[in-house]
Amino acid sequence: MGLLEHMFKNDHLVFLDAASGKKRTLQEMLFPLEEIGKMSKKLAFLYLNGDSISTATYLSFLGTQHATVLLSDALEPILKENLESEYQPTIIFDASRNHIKSYQQKKLANEWSEIALFIDTGKETKVHANCKVLLSTSGTTGSPKFVKLSEKNLLENAKSICAYLPIVKTDVVPLNLSLFYSYGLSILHTNALAGGTVVSGVSDILQKDFWIQMDSHGFTSMAGVPFIYEMLYRIGFLKKKYPSLRYISQAGGNLSQNIKKNFNDYCIENNIAFYVMYGQTEASARISYVPAEVLEKKITSIGRPIKNGELSLDPETGELLYSGPNVFGGYSIKREDLKTWEKIEPLRTGDLAYQDEDGFYFIKGRLKRFVKIFGNRVNLDELERFLKTTFNIGLVACIGVKDQFILVSHCEDDLLDEDIKKKLFERFKIHHASVKVKYLESIPLTNNGKINYKKITAEYT
């Protein structure tokens, strides 16, 4: 039984459009793809945003055997063309275009809307039978590198998440993260399997309209990456009450300890469960989680593995390894890669970690985020965590530049360069001459809300 069939078994599932207030069943959401569904397995590019039509289009393709590449509809036209030239998709969904060279437009309508698909049956890209969804890990850069995920990967991961998140039939959950991002996609999958009302077309979580929608519809949960929580902290989220909110979740990178603690204290006071999770797109999203009831004691941990998953440490390097049914089938960086499917066991996360006496795992840094300064190995992730905690700040970026010096970028206008250098010397014995500090109006982020180190480096050098 496929993922969509499992969703149909949820009798409480309803899709709500935030703007219009219209409610629809799963069947009513779908567009008629019967004719397209009769084709042999094809490659489809779906350029998505947060509206109900994007959600419905993805769900409709989920019911076919075709492989879908999920992308942002905000990609620059030249990036779209480059990707399409490389991968030669048979089907394209892109509401921002009314013409694509060599493709015929086919309009499909259900009772509430209409979409246009672009089809070129001359494009015969071969796709492995296991390959169902392809996701980029690079945000909006238009990189041709995709993670290959099977329907089993997605279904098993969704089931594992449902086993620990308190998803119930009365939930009203906003899709406030992009569907082309593994975290956002998993929110749709898990709540469609076990929840109640899934809300599309919500405003940006940092805009006033989102909170108006929250009051109006009674959102029961909220998800965010570190950047979102750091911004919510700044704009005073913790000073207000949200009666409908039952739990919140955070993934997508390390949230600074002080902000995490403030959110956890608030959640304990207001009877809200706070779930901190760790994952990678290569594992269809989640790998581990910290149970809400122990987060106070394990505030810096990534928790224990999800159901049916297993974590271990490489005895030589200390790299965190993961095994489970949600591990991907390899990367695709060119069209020919879609023909193959690898058995990857275990998944090498690229993170250095350790395990405590209670079986909880803790990340020490990235395997590749080390630099040598004057012969000494420096863990850049450790520096970032130290600076965030010491100065009680949100975003800070530490970058090694040609093993010559460490560039510290931040956006706190009252933070002095000398104070940063002094603290780094006191704690890590890094000489002042090895540290350069740059103030930025804002820290550049990828589309997934993570620090864009490449852009900071490029702008500096």
At 104, give phi and psi (nearest 5°).
-95, 140
What the block records as the tokens of 216 is 């109006």
Predicted confidence at residue 346, as pLDDT, reads: 96
Residue pLDDT, tens place only, 59-110: 999 999 999 999 999 888 998 999 999 999 999 999 999 999 999 999 999 9
Predicted confidence at residue 406, as pLDDT, reads: 92
Residue pLDDT, tens place only, 164-181: 999 999 999 999 999 999
What the block records as the tokens of 199 is 């809300």
Confidence band for 141, pLDDT divided at 50, 70 and 90: low
Distance CA 299, CA 296 (A): 5
Distance CA 387, CA 451 (A): 15
pTM, rounded to two decimals: 0.85
- 111-120, 143-152, 428-437: least confident range: 428-437
Distance CA 451, CA 444 (A): 6
Return the HEC string of 78-133: HHHHHHHHHHCCCEEECCCCCCCCCCEEEEEECCCCEEEEEECCCCCCCCCCCCCE
Distance CA 377, CA 451 (A): 22
* Domains in the chain with CATH codes: 1-367 (3.40.50.12780), 370-460 (3.30.300.30)
| Mean pLDDT within 440-450 | 84
Distance CA 281, CA 190 (A): 16
What the block records as the tokens of 363 is 């990340």
Predicted confidence at residue 374, as pLDDT, reads: 59
| Mean pLDDT within 116-143 | 87
| Mean pLDDT within 436-448 | 87
Distance CA 365, CA 353 (A): 7
Residue 333: strand, helix, or coil: coil
Contact 319, 349 (CB under 8 A): yes
- 226-240, 286-300, 421-435: least confident range: 421-435
| Mean pLDDT within 327-334 | 96
Residues 6+ apart with CB under 8 A from 213: 18, 174, 199, 202, 203, 219
* C-alpha atoms less than 13 angstroms from C-alpha of 8 in its C-beta half-sphere: 13
Q: Taking all residues of the chain, what is their mean pLDDT, rounded to a whole number?
A: 93
Confidence band for 376, pLDDT divided at 50, 70 and 90: low
Distances (CA, A) of 414 to 376, 399, 410, 411: 30, 21, 11, 9
Distance CA 213, CA 149 (A): 33
Predicted confidence at residue 193, as pLDDT, reads: 98
| Mean pLDDT within 204-214 | 94
Predicted confidence at residue 375, as pLDDT, reads: 59
Q: What is the largest CA-CA distance in the chain?
A: 68
Predicted confidence at residue 385, as pLDDT, reads: 86
